[in-house]
Amino acid sequence: GTESVISVYRMRLRVFDYYATGNEETLERFGELEADFNAVMAKAQENIQDPERARLVDGIEQTTNRYIDAFRNELVPAKRQVLTIIDERLDEHGPNATKALRLALNGVANREPDSELRAGLEQLLNDALIMRMTAERYLANGDEDSKKALGWAIEDLSDALNLIDAENGPEFVQVYLNTVVEELGNYRAAV
């Protein structure tokens, strides 16, 4: 009995490790632990004579196998999908938006260091970074608080974009801000 509990506990730790990191090597270790669990269960089935205990072992085995199936068939594909979204979309659009903001800010800082446009761009850059961090937190744990925080961060960024009066600044700023709006729209859609 103790060996089965230890085996299940170790598998649960690997599930948490995989959920937190998405590291594919964790799946290999999980497979080894699953094999260990199956060996423990086979040994228990051979050695148990009492029908009540045999039913208990069957119940443990069935419940654990459902847990394993849910992990392999639901959690692993979902985590891979999240990692793909991060790799293919968020890691592209977020940095593109941030880069465009930095370029606009640098250009304005050189030409109009004390302007309201510079202050607005600095705030926008800060809001973009906060949105990216909030999105990563939401994708990592997916809880309701993180989802709300991400919604607020996106709203703050949208509001800040609307407050920027780039038309009174250099033309290149408008070009960069158009890039920012496009990339942030793609980022928002990906999240």
Residue spans per domain, the chain: 2-78, 80-190
Residue 70 neighbours by CB under 8 Å, 6+ apart? none
Asked if pLDDT for residue 43 goes beyond 80, the answer is yes
pTM assigned to the model: 0.50
Which pLDDT belongs to residue 137? 77
Residues in the chain: 191
> What confidence score (pLDDT) does residue 90 get?
57
Mean pLDDT computed over every residue of the chain:
79
| Interatomic CA distance for residues 164 and 116, integer angstroms | 9
What is the dihedral angle through the alpha carbons of 128, 79, 149, 101, rounded to the nearest 10 degrees?
0
Most confident of the following: 39-43, 104-108, 118-122, 163-167? 39-43
What average pLDDT does range 133-160 have in this prediction? 80
Whether pLDDT at 75 is above 80: yes
pLDDT of residue 66: 92
Report, as an integer, the average pLDDT of 102-112: 69
Residue 94: per-residue pLDDT:
64
Residue 165 reports pLDDT greater than 70: no
Is a pLDDT exceeding 90 seen at residue 102?
A: no
Q: Please give the class, per CATH, of domain 80-190.
A: mainly alpha
pLDDT of 87? 61
Among 147, 142, 144, 14, residue whose Cα is nearest residue 78:
142
DSSP calls for the chain: -HHHHHHHHHHHHHHHHHHHH--HHHHHHHHHHHHHHHHHHHHHHHH---HHHHHHHHHHHHHHHHHHHHIIIIIHHHHHHHHHHIIIIIHHHHHHHHHHHHHHHHHHHHH-TT-HHHHHHHHHHHHHHHHHHHHHHHHHH--HHHHHHHHHHHHHHHHHHHH--GGGS-HHHHHHHHHHHHHHHHHHHH-
For residue 118, pLDDT beyond 60: yes
- The Cβ of residue 33 has, within 10 Å, a number of other Cβ atoms equal to 21
Section 120-142 average pLDDT: 77
The model's confidence at residue 34, banded by pLDDT at 50, 70 and 90, is very high
